C-alpha cells in the first residue's frame, strides 16, 4: 500500500484476482493498432465483474500486478493499453516507467526541505 492512497493501492483482493485472467484475455487481443483506453476497460470489467467495484485506480493496480508477475507484456501509451512482444516497445515501456519513477523521486526530494 502507498501512504495517502491506501484505499486505492491496497493489495489485489481475492475477487480482483478472479478478474486477472479476464483482463489478460482482453488485453492479449489488443495491439498497437487497436489499444484500449482505461475507461473502456473499466466499463467492460464492471459489466462482467458483478460484485467487484472496478475503478481506473484499481485497473492500474491490476495492470501493475500483471506486469510485476511477468504475466503479460502490457504497454501503456496515451492511446491506451495493449500487448506487445516487440523488444523495442517493451524497452520503451520500461524507459517510460523509469522516467516516471525518477520524476516522483525528484518531487519527494524537493519536498524534504519543508521537513527540517
Structure-block grid coordinates of residue 104: 516522483
Task: Write out pLDDT tens, residues 76-115.
Answer: 999 999 999 999 999 999 999 999 999 999 999 999 999 9
3-state secondary structure of 78: coil
- In order of 27, 52, 56, 65, 90, the CA distances from 85 in angstroms are 13, 30, 24, 18, 7
Task: Write out pLDDT tens, residues 25-51.
Answer: 999 999 999 999 999 999 988 877 666
pTM of the model: 0.87
- DSSP sequence for 46-90: HHHHTTS---HHHHHHHHHHHHHTTS--EEEETTEEEE---HHHH
Amino acid at each position: 500500500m502507498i501512504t495517502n492512497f491506501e484505499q486505492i493501492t491496497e493489495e489485489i483482493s481475492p475477487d480482483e484476482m478472479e478478474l486477472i485472467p479476464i483482463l489478460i484475455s482482453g488485453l492479449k487481443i489488443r495491439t498497437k493498432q487497436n489499444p484500449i483506453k482505461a475507461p473502456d476497460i473499466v466499463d467492460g470489467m464492471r459489466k462482467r465483474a458483478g460484485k467487484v467495484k472496478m475503478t481506473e485506480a484499481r485497473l492500474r493496480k491490476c495492470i501493475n500486478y500483471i506486469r510485476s508477475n511477468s504475466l503479460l507484456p502490457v504497454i501503456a501509451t496515451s492511446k491506451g493499453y495493449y500487448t506487445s512482444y516487440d523488444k523495442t516497445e517493451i524497452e520503451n515501456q520500461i524507459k517510460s516507467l523509469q522516467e516516471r519513477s525518477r520524476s516522483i523521486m525528484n518531487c519527494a526530494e524537493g519536498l524534504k526541505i519543508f521537513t527540517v
